[in-house]
Amino acid sequence: MRPKSFEQVLEEVKGKPILVANRGIPARRICRSITEMFQATAVMTATDVDKTSPATTGAHELLLLGEDPRAYLELDRIIKMAKDRGIVAIHPGWGFGSEDDSFPKKCEEAGIIFIGPNQGPMRLLGNKVAVRKLAEEIGVPVVPGSPEAVSIPEARKIAKEIGFPIMLKAEGGGGGRGIYEVYEDSQLESAFSKASALAKASFGNPRLYVEKLLTSVRHIEFQTVADMYGNVFVFDERDCTVQRNHQKLVEITPSPWPKFTPELRKELKGYAEKLIKAVGYHSLATVEFLVDKDGRPYLIEVNTRLQVEHGITECRYGIDLVEEQIAISFGAKLRFNEQNTKPYLHVMQVRVNCEDPQDNFSPNAGLITSYVSPGGQGVRIDSCICAGYRFPSRYDSAAALLITYGNSWDKTVMLMRRALREYKIGGVKTTINFHREVMKHPDFVNGDYDTNFVRVHKDELMAYSDKEAEPVRLARLVAEISARGYNPYVSLGEYRGRGDKRMGRFQLVKAPDATDAAFEPRISRGMKRDAILDALREDRAAGIIHFCDTTTRDITQSNSGNRFRLAEDRIIGPSLDKCGFFSLENGGGAHFHVAMLANMTYPFTEAKEWNLFAPNTLKQILIRSTNVLGYKPQPGNLMRLTGEMICEHYDVIRCFDFLNHVENMRPFAEVVLHSKKHIFEPALSLSWAKGFDVPHYLEVTEGILSMCADVLGVSRKKASQAIILGLKDMAGVCPPRFMRELIGALTAKYPELVIHSHRHYTDGLFVPTMGAAAKAGSHIVDVAIGSSVRWYGQGEVLSTAAYIEDEMGLKTLLDKDMIRSTNFTLKQIMPYYDKYCSPYFQGIDHDVVRHGMPGGATSSSQEGAMKQGYIHLLPYMLKFLAGTRKVVRYHDVTPGSQITWNTAFLGVTGAYKRGGNIEVRRLLNILDIVNVVPEKDLTALEKEARLDLYRDSNDAFRNLLLGKYGRLPLGFPADWVYQSAFGKDWEKAIADRTTESPLASLVDLDLDAEHRVLSQRIGREPSAEEFVMYLNHPADAIKTMDFFEKYGNPNNLPLDVWFEGLEKNRPLHFQGDCGKPHTMRILDLGEPDEHGMSVVRYVMDSEIMSHMVKVREPLHMDKDAEEMADPGNPCHVGSPSNGDLWIVHVRPGDVVKKGEELFNISIMKQEKAVIAPVDGVVRRVLKAANFQEDRKMVPVKEGELLVELGPSPRTCPTCKGFIPLEDCKYCPKCGQKLDALTPKG
Amino acid sequence: MSRPFILLADGLPDLAQPLDLSALSALHPLWAADAAALAPFAGADTLGQAAAAALVVCGECASTMDVARHLAGQGALGPWGSVIAPVQNAGRGQLRRAWLSRPGNLLATLACPLESGPWNDLRPLVLGYLFAEALSALGQAVQVKWPNDILCAERKVAGILVEERANCVLAGIGLNIAWAPGEAELRAGHTVAAGKYHPLNEALGPFQLWAALVNHVETGYRTLLEAFSPNEFLTIFQTRMAWQGRRVLVQEGASVRYEAVVRGISGEGGLVLDRAGQRVVLLAGDVIPI
């Protein structure tokens, strides 16, 4: 045949159909060449899964292969179809039929040109043993080893010659499959049989050969192209050293390895050319070498097809290999020679696969939800995916080949980094993140690595987070809230439905600027403790009263369940900062917990941000003495750890103990008092009840000052100058006259002690009481901004100030216009909280002076009673509370108030269960009696009756009586209380009582162990804050960490969206944490399908996305889900595995003996008989089957309860028959008289 | 003949009839060949003396499964021990279906070693594969129809039933070498036609064939469990598996029937089917080619 020119081939091929017998990336790639210069008709094979894939867009026509996904391997069928279609040539691509040497032959027989080599040379070069032999003959170095497949003794002999380690390679293997590494003689035997059997199973050929295992090598290969006339051109090397299990991940040309010299390149190119010429090969081929660290090359194999990494050679030379390959197959003369084909660029390719590198590169298929491909200068991409494409699971995981090219290695690396940054594939995990890490690795950049690179640097390369960008994740949260209509994270149940009326859009109108440039705050952050306290004393002497604002903590804790978010803090914080408050209480109490439980916010991050947007005013926190920020006493080391973190973000630390057990505050005093900046504010828990009088509180104050003096190492007088004394009337019960008296006595005794009054509004007397407190000598009083004032929190700032100024004749330093301005802003926020977070029962409750339920608990406890169906008992519970407060006396503050409430609830409901309303009234009657009648006047009957009062109390109450929370402020209650609560163990309980601080007996936490548990749970090192969050509230801390991982920072979403989601078509503008603005608009909120899933389609910035949200339980769900057998109960007989129940031999009432077959399960034709584990009577048969009769099998799950047995029945002493019923007096079978049943112990 | 064998000449009360070699010879020419081979060794061992891995030959019985279960309960039969009988009067297949047979066919029960974990769950497949390998080595190449029917040229030549009960696992096997039921004798709804298996050495009787099969299976079993992971086994299993890529009618229980394409084996050994594009894993049930 005479050589044709390229132009002649163009002429010949134009308009003719050429088939690509492949799919995905190679098919698309080859179709491109077919249609470019040749202007031929590109035909592509496609199975049903593939016929609409993005790769098919490049083809003019498809050759449909039907539903079998493996049809690409059916060469005969494909050739027949091709012939019918009039195909002139077939390109096999890579993979599938491309290495089958019968393909060229079959094509030839069908009269179709095969775009590739002829069968003979293909078979020779494709056979590793043959090629090795050939190489040895013509002087190409090969890896030492056996020339052909060997037996074990031969293998051992060769191993001895070449030395371990060796590799056993399957003759029929390839692509990294079928290779076993053997490191020592002793492993050889078992490795050989294993490898051989597996080779047979996998490749149909058990034969193995032996090769030396080279431990540190680079993979260097050479692209060759040859025509039918003996012209061969060898291109520069491709360095494919970055591999995983022999699968190439990154390919580079030229090699960046400093040791790869031009001499070595020349030598290897020579070998490649020799091999190709030796077999008279035409078309493309790749000659692959391993090069050890000393630059010694070893030929490993020759690939007789187009390869995945061909693109980098094309870019280095500016050529089209596929075009050349096609032309050569049609008889064209090779166009490349050393003069016209010169390398000039550095090129790299990474394989973007749908695999999860962090899960051992496991493939993952699924819907590509978004796709943004990189572009620009120096980038080439060959992909087979697009947004909306469902990536199939049946084929290989290659999604794209990303190439970058530049005029230096460094430029190419930087380009690749940039391209990988731009590349976004959503919905499936890909290798993009992994490649980003590779591109950053210094060894990679320096070209200093071998084929073990990925394995050796696994930890570094896998240390990336596969998170999507925060706005994408937040948009998904918005979709979820919108589909449900409520936000489950708010933890208030299904508080609204999707179709419910909305509060409407939260569109903040800014308040008129009220900033007074001349306003100078009297007290600000940055001042030292002593300066602040001196200023307060000085001001009080001048009749000036200061205010602490609780808007963002205590008042919204009491009235809005603490759901007030950081997002809204950010809005009003800056103006609160300018109102002239002494301090802003913005943390502590339940707020710390609810931040994680419902607001999905890191509490200390919140505090830190506060100090940025409200930098001037002091920040105040509330601490529950031993419990700190939790609900139970904390070990010392945890207290200190939390305390240190608190001091980082807060200036005033108010600390109370519900028993006024001063020692419980000591650890915190130690943390705070040693700082010159922080102010310690120990607080008296106040009750208004018998025994809690002024002398009592003076005594407690004395104790506080002594403790502080002790910690500071100063006198009590000095101590009184160094702290603020808090007065904490949490229930809101102390009337003006009592406060006047108490504060009067305190200031008389400790004239330099700064006093800070705190109370709640519950009794309705907030303003006059605070007025009285101020007048009597308080330096600071707690208030809140008007639009947040309800019933259970603090009172309003301007009215309180007005009362103090106008009625009491004192002064304030507030910037009232700024307060008005703040109020205007807050006014727009509060309605959302009122609607979704308000307490159920609302309004002033002056009865609080009797029952003493504090703050928000007033409503929540009563709501609890109602929800449990006891609303009719509520008046009695409140009476019980009032009475019990006189029996066991402590303060109406958390957690004491909760204990009293539970005791009342349990006492009253217990009585109701025993004897209805009559019993309840009897119980309250006796409570009245014990509270009014002196002990000596009680009758024996009354003394007996009072023991019913606390018989239903819980452990918390009993622990309180034992002194486990601390010393009771007025001593232990009377002994009969112990008799009632502890029953017959009451004397022991009395003996076990303690007055020691619980701190004394608490063992330190093993912080290292806790740290390990947390790290393991979240899969990374926790931050210091996360660790403290976890130690205080483990479950909710993890919930918040998981939330951040899944969605990001919820405080970037507006208030209405947080509660109600987004309605269709309304644009949402929000900013991510990095401040970039984003827009989201919901296009469609689908109705839930039968699985309860609703599809939300939305536009995020300019991308259309969709998200499935489970909004309700599936319709066809088995309502009575399977009951599971209790593994610890021998009478529960469950299914041993998943399978089909086909026969049950027993019926309820049957008596079975141990070992008797009960039923039989069939699984993969193995029939498992399940036998009775004990003697007994069949109580229940949960599923029955009798296949032989009705041809029905019943599917069962592993562990599912199938038969329940009862205890073995009595037997008749005479006939040994079973007695079926317990009350039989005579044996029903033989008539024998039976003994009465012995009573059960 | 290295494996000890025992002739239960006196039979077992209620389980197996007495057996003598001359009567055996009269049953079928194949048994005559066996009887001749056995004669020199008759009475060599008796129950209890021989190893538990012995090969027990008994007379006509209801089912070799029952005889083996009895012997195992007595401690006289352990792993790789087996029972073979010339005639079963109540041979059973899966779900108490009848197993039809005539003298000359191989009817035996093999006691299997206990395993835990995946190997326990995969036992039906392992036995199917190993018997198929053994049969292919001794004669015509056969394939396994999931989970363990043995097919030769698209006809069922053997069935295996595994019964697990209280620490004793028995595999019953019926192999048609002398006779196969015709179309009319098979139960309605049977999945595949019956056929006969031809060993290379056509003169081998059921007993000698069985002894060779047990040896093959035991050796194969030891190698398999030692050298391969359960996952690797599943790959290997598929090399012997029939009907891959074939469109079949799937029957689950009595009522559920649908068409699907056989795709392979799942990680737990179930049959992977493609039901209208959906991947279905069948753990129990039957498939019938369309």
Chain B nearest C-alpha distance from A1180 (Å): 22
Nearest CA in chain B to A1154: B166
Which residues on chain B are in Cβ contact (under 8 Å) with A1140? 252-253, 283-285
Residues 6+ apart with CB under 8 A from A517: none
Residues 6+ apart with CB under 8 A from A339: none
Pick from A1143, A1163, A1171: CB nearest B166: A1171
Band (pLDDT 50/70/90 cuts) for residue A127 is: confident
CA distance A713 to A385: 73
Chain B nearest C-alpha distance from A1165 (Å): 6
Q: Are A1163 and A1137 in contact (CB under 8 A)?
A: yes
Q: Which of B105, B247, B96 is nearest to A1169 (CA)?
A: B96
Pick from A1137, A1162, A1169: CB nearest B165: A1169
Band (pLDDT 50/70/90 cuts) for residue A385 is: very high
A944 pLDDT above the threshold of 80: yes
Tell me which long-range contacts B253-260 makes (C-beta under 8 A, separation of at least 24).
B253/A1140, B253/A1191, B253/A1192, B253/A1193, B253/A1194, B253/A1195, B253/B285, B254/A1190, B254/A1191, B254/A1192, B254/A1193, B255/A1192, B256/B285, B259/B290, B260/B287
CA distance A853 to A890: 12
Q: What is the pLDDT of residues B158-190, one digit of tens each?
A: 999 999 887 789 999 999 999 888 887 777 767
Which residues on chain A are in Cβ contact (under 8 Å) with B226? 190
C-alpha pair distances (Å), A191 with each of A156, A168, A852, A1129, B130: 12, 8, 79, 46, 21
The two structure tokens encoding residue A402: 């990303």
Q: What is the pLDDT of residues A717-761, one digit of tens each?
A: 999 999 999 999 998 999 999 999 999 999 999 999 999 999 999
| β strands within A48-94, DSSP E | 61-66, 89-91
C-alpha pair distances (Å), A433 with each of A363, A420, A436, A465, A502: 15, 8, 5, 8, 41
CA distance B163 to A1143: 14
| β strands within A737-788, DSSP E | 754-759, 780-783
Average pLDDT over residues A849-853: 87
**What's residue B101's pLDDT?**
84
Residue with tokens 């991409």: A381
Q: Are A73 and A97 in contact (CB under 8 A)?
A: yes
Fold of A218-245+256-342: D-amino Acid Aminotransferase; Chain A, domain 1 (3.30.470)
**What's residue B1's pLDDT?**
45
CA distance A370 to A388: 7
B94/A68 CB distance under 8 A: no
Q: Are B52 and B75 in contact (CB under 8 A)?
A: yes
Backbone angles phi, psi at A479, to 5 degrees: -60, -40
A802 pLDDT above the threshold of 60: yes
Which residues on chain A are in Cβ contact (under 8 Å) with B285? 1140, 1193
Element (H, E) at A160: helix A152-162
A311 pLDDT above the threshold of 90: yes
Element (H, E) at A371: strand A370-372
Chain A contact for B245, CB < 8 A?
yes
B236/A201 CB distance under 8 A: yes
**What's residue A930's pLDDT?**
94
Disruptive mutation site among B95, B156, B251 for chain A (greatest number of A CBs within 10 Å): B95
A712 pLDDT above the threshold of 80: yes
A1142/B95 CB distance under 8 A: yes
Pick from A68, A200, A1163: CB nearest B283: A1163
Q: What is the pLDDT of residues A592-604, one digit of tens each?
A: 999 999 999 999 9
Interface of B with A in 43-82 (CB under 8 A): none
Q: What is the pLDDT of residues A224-242, one digit of tens each?
A: 999 999 999 999 999 999 9
Domain A1132-1206: which CATH class?
mainly beta
B96/A1188 CB distance under 8 A: yes
* Neighbouring C-beta atoms of residue A1033, cutoff 10 Å: 22
At position A657, the amino acid (one-letter code) is D
What percent of chain B stands above pLDDT 90? 28
CA distance A744 to A697: 12
Band (pLDDT 50/70/90 cuts) for residue A1232 is: low
Q: What is the pLDDT of residues B108-144, one digit of tens each?
A: 999 999 888 788 889 999 999 999 999 998 888 899 9
- According to the 3-state scheme, what is the secondary structure of chain B? CCCCEEECCCCECCCECCCCHHHHHHHCHHHHHHHHHHHHHCCCCCCCCCCCCCEEECCCECCHHHHHHHHHHHCCCCCCCEEECCCECCCECHHHCECCCCECEEEEEEEECCCCCHHHHCHHHHHHHHHHHHHHHHECCCEEECCCEEEECCEEEEEEEEEEECCEEEEEEEECCCCCCCHHHCCCCCCCCECCCCECCCCCCHHHHHHHHHHHHHHHHHHHHHHCCHHHHHHHHHHCECCCCCEEEEEECCCEEEEEEEEEECCCCCEEEEECCEEEEECCCEEEEC
Number of Cα atoms under 13 Å in the Cβ half of residue A1138? 8
A564 pLDDT above the threshold of 80: yes
C-alpha pair distances (Å), A257 with each of A108, A235, A378: 43, 17, 22
Pick from A1140, A1143, A1167: CB nearest B164: A1167
Catalytic: which of A23, A305, A529, A654?
A: A305
| Among A409-423, A1115-1129, B238-252, the least confident range | A1115-1129
Pick from A201, A1143, A1163: CB nearest B284: A1163
Nearest CA in chain B to A1157: B165
A187 pLDDT above the threshold of 90: no
Fold of A345-466: D-amino Acid Aminotransferase; Chain A, domain 1 (3.30.470)
Superfamily name with CATH number, domain A144-213: ATP-grasp fold, A domain (3.30.1490.20)
Which residues on chain A are in Cβ contact (under 8 Å) with B132? none
Assign domain A6-115 to its CATH architecture: 3-Layer(aba) Sandwich (3.40)
**What's residue B253's pLDDT?**
63
B284/A204 CB distance under 8 A: no
Domain covering A529-837 assigned CATH 3.20.20.70 in the classification: yes
The question of whether A790 is a catalytic residue gets the answer no
Chain B nearest C-alpha distance from A190 (Å): 7
B124/A1167 CB distance under 8 A: no
First vs last Cα of chain A: how many Å apart? 107
Task: Identify residues of A whose CB sits under 8 angstroms from chain B CBs.
Answer: 67-68, 70, 190, 193-194, 197-198, 200-202, 204, 1137-1140, 1142-1143, 1155, 1157, 1162-1169, 1171, 1187-1188, 1190-1195
B164/A1169 CB distance under 8 A: yes
DSSP 8-state assignment for residue A5: P
Disruptive mutation site among A180, A190, A193, A1165 for chain B (greatest number of B CBs within 10 Å): A1165
**What's residue A1238's pLDDT?**
37
Residues 6+ apart with CB under 8 A from B117: B230
A1237 pLDDT above the threshold of 60: no
**What's residue A1119's pLDDT?**
43
B270/A204 CB distance under 8 A: no
Domain residue ranges in chain A: 6-115, 144-213, 218-245+256-342, 345-466, 470-509+1053-1110, 529-837, 848-1001, 1132-1206, 1209-1241
Which residues on chain A are in Cβ contact (under 8 Å) with B253? 1140, 1191-1195
A1169/B226 CB distance under 8 A: no
Nearest CA in chain A to B238: A201
Which residues on chain A are in Cβ contact (under 8 Å) with B158? none
B66 pLDDT above the threshold of 50: yes
**What's residue A433's pLDDT?**
93
Chain A nearest C-alpha distance from B259 (Å): 14
Which residues on chain B are in Cβ contact (under 8 Å) with A51? none
Burial of A1186 (0-12, 13-18, 19+ CB in 10 A): middle
Contacts A–B by Cβ distance under 8 A? 103
User: What mean pLDDT value characterizes chain A?
Assistant: 90
Q: Which of A659, A655, A658 is nearest to A669 (CA)?
A: A655
Which residues on chain B are in Cβ contact (under 8 Å) with A68? 245, 261
**What's residue A177's pLDDT?**
58
* Neighbouring C-beta atoms of residue A105, cutoff 10 Å: 16
Which residues on chain A are in Cβ contact (under 8 Å) with B146? 1164
Selected residue with higher pLDDT from A155 and A731: A731
| Among A571-585, A1065-1079, A1162-1176, the least confident range | A1162-1176
B269/A194 CB distance under 8 A: no
Band (pLDDT 50/70/90 cuts) for residue A195 is: confident
Average pLDDT over residues A409-428: 94
Disruptive mutation site among B110, B123, B165, B246 for chain A (greatest number of A CBs within 10 Å): B165
Domain covering A470-509+1053-1110 assigned CATH 3.10.20.30 in the classification: no
Nearest CA in chain B to A195: B227
**pTM for the whole thing?**
0.63
Q: What is the pLDDT of residues A455-487, one digit of tens each?
A: 899 888 888 877 778 899 999 999 999 999 999
Disruptive mutation site among B130, B164, B228 for chain A (greatest number of A CBs within 10 Å): B164
Band (pLDDT 50/70/90 cuts) for residue A576 is: very high
Q: Hey, what domains does chain B have and what are their CATH numbers? A: 5-239 (3.30.930.10), 247-289 (2.30.30)
**What's residue B45's pLDDT?**
59
Band (pLDDT 50/70/90 cuts) for residue A188 is: confident
Domains A218-245+256-342 and A345-466 share a fold: yes
Which residues on chain B are in Cβ contact (under 8 Å) with A1157? 165
